[in-house]
């Protein structure tokens, strides 16, 4: 039987869809992971599940004393796998407490990373993620795959898996006694040190990359480049219609003029690479010829080998919680940086072009629909500063929306909680007060509550932070 949430992953931005609560995972043959999938690899900590490390499942099961075993075969880049990880830990802790109650058939929850252990997953016939198999200890040890059952569930929760087990066996697991907060609360102590180190390192790198701006809050140029690479890769896959293809060419043209080159010591290499891509796209006979895999064989963004993105990953935007930050963090930085290089004459046009690109090439329907509801009034496009402030308000509005989801599902990044920015430490003069006022939609307009913000100071901060030509 197929997995309810499994589906093909035709576009890289599905890797970010988890942040918009869109459950989508790959139903694809295990294979060598390309650079754009490597960027989304993140392993949720194994607190109660048994992380099978090696090319064979049998030794781990033989070492345990469980009579029944559930094994989740997953890929770290799979959004549904990322969302399900803390739920599976809930199930594993529930099993542990069930086992601790007394003499009875014991249960075990294990995981296998099919990227690290491709051969193991192939041996067990795994072709999509996540796949969860359930069976008796002896059937696992004897590799009796015909006796194993696939756990199919409609919702990615511990309760759904426990219900499947209850329907198939005599085991009744009280998952309500283990909250998601209990699992997630273990993360900060182990991950905050890593996050703080990442922030400090990124600040040091940014200062080195731009000697003229020694502020520790300078935006990270590497994360902008990585997110741009992902966005362009996805856009090449999505631009099948002529209208969309023409929009892509126009977007690439904008980057050839206003990509934040000054943040990097590239001597114009990035913008030149976009000029070359624009010429390449204009020279193709039809949108169908714009295959990203083929284009990336002869074209490099900023002259960087594509493998470097997967090897180096995120820097300042690196998350400490699965499926968070990364791409969206870098993409917001790109948009802010591009409009920071607009002029009063081009700002309105640039805003409309970027909004169209998001509405066409951002592969999260709910996110696109919400973004499209953010109004743009004539005053928002009057000057370059007005456009910068519109993007700032839009960014904080989205932060507020995502925060509401993370609060509901308890899966925000504990090291990087969603807040209204800039913070007082980043810009002490940007607020009239220390109130953490959220930007919201009021009477059809983006507005700051309590008049807490000084727009002039915020605009100056944005230019300092994202640089200008």
Greatest mean pLDDT among 253-257, 400-404, 409-413: 253-257
Q: Label residues 210-233 b or e (16+ Cβ within 10 Å = b).
A: beebeeebbbbbbbbbbbbbbbbb
Q: pLDDT per residue over 306-322, tens digit each?
A: 999 999 999 999 988 87
Confidence category of residue 70, pLDDT binned at 50, 70, 90: very high
Residue 178 tokens read as 């283990």
User: Counting Cβ atoms within 10 Å, is residue 174 exposed (0-12), middle (13-18) or buried (19+)?
Assistant: exposed
Instruction: Note the Cα 410 to chain centre separation in Å.
Output: 16
Q: pLDDT per residue over 208-229, tens digit each?
A: 333 333 333 489 999 999 999 9
In this prediction, residue 30 carries a pLDDT of 42
Give the three-class secondary structure for 148. coil
Nearest to 252 by CA among 272, 274, 273: 274
Q: How far apart are CA 314 and CA 352, in angstroms?
A: 28
Confidence category of residue 365, pLDDT binned at 50, 70, 90: confident
Nearest to 332 by CA among 284, 396, 286: 396
Report yes or no: 237 and 351 within 8 Å, Cβ to Cβ.
no
For residue 130, the 8-state DSSP code is: S
pLDDT over 70, % of the chain: 81
Nearest to 121 by CA among 88, 79, 87, 78: 78
């Amino acid at each position: 039987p197929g997995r309810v949430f499994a589906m093909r992953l035709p576009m890289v931005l599905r890797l970010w869809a988890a942040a918009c609560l869109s459950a989508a995972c790959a139903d694809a043959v295990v294979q060598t992971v390309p650079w754009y999938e490597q960027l989304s690899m993140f392993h949720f900590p194994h607190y109660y599940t048994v992380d099978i490390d090696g090319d064979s499942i049998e030794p781990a099961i033989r070492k345990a004393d469980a009579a029944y075993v559930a094994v989740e075969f997953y890929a770290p880049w799979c959004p549904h796998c990322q969302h399900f990880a803390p739920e599976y830990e809930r199930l594993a802790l529930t099993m542990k407490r069930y086992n601790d109650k007394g003499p009875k058939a014991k249960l075990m929850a294990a995981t296998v990373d099919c990227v690290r252990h491709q051969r193991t997953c192939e041996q067990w016939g795994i072709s999509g993620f996540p796949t969860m198999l359930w069976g008796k200890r002896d059937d696992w040890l004897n590799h009796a795959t015909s006796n194993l059952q696939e756990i199919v569930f409609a919702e990615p929760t511990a309760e759904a898996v426990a219900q499947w087990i209850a329907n198939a066996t005599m085991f009744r697991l009280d998952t309500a006694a283990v909250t998601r907060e209990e699992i997630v609360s273990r993360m900060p102590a182990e991950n905050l040190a890593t996050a703080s180190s990442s922030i400090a390192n990124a600040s040091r790198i940014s200062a080195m990359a731009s000697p003229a701006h020694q502020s520790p809050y300078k935006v990270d140029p590497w994360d902008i480049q990585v997110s741009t690479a992902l966005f362009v890769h996805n856009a090449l896959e999505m631009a099948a219609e002529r209208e969309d293809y023409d929009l892509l060419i126009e977007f690439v043209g904008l980057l050839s003029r206003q990509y934040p080159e000054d943040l990097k010591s590239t001597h114009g290499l990035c913008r030149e690479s976009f000029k070359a891509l624009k010429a390449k796209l204009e020279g193709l006979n039809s949108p169908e010829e714009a295959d990203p895999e083929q284009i990336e064989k002869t074209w490099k963004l900023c002259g960087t080998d594509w493998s470097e993105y997967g090897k180096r990953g995120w820097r300042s935007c690196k998350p400490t919680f699965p499926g968070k930050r990364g791409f969206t963090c870098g993409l917001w930085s790109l948009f802010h940086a591009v409009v920071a290089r607009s002029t009063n004459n081009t700002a309105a046009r640039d805003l409309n072009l970027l909004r169209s690109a998001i509405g066409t090439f951002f592969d999260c329907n709910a996110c696109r629909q919400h973004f499209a509801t953010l109004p743009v009034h004539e005053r928002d496009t009057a000057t370059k500063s007005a456009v910068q402030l519109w993007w700032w308000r839009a960014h904080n509005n989205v932060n507020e929306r995502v925060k509401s989801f993370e609060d509901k599902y308890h899966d925000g990044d504990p090291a990087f909680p969603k807040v209204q920015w800039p913070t007082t430490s980043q810009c002490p003069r940007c607020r009239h007060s220390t109130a953490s006022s959220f930007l919201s939609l009021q009477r059809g307009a983006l507005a700051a509550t309590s008049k807490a913000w000084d727009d002039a100071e915020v605009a100056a901060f944005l230019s300092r932070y994202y640089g200008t030509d």
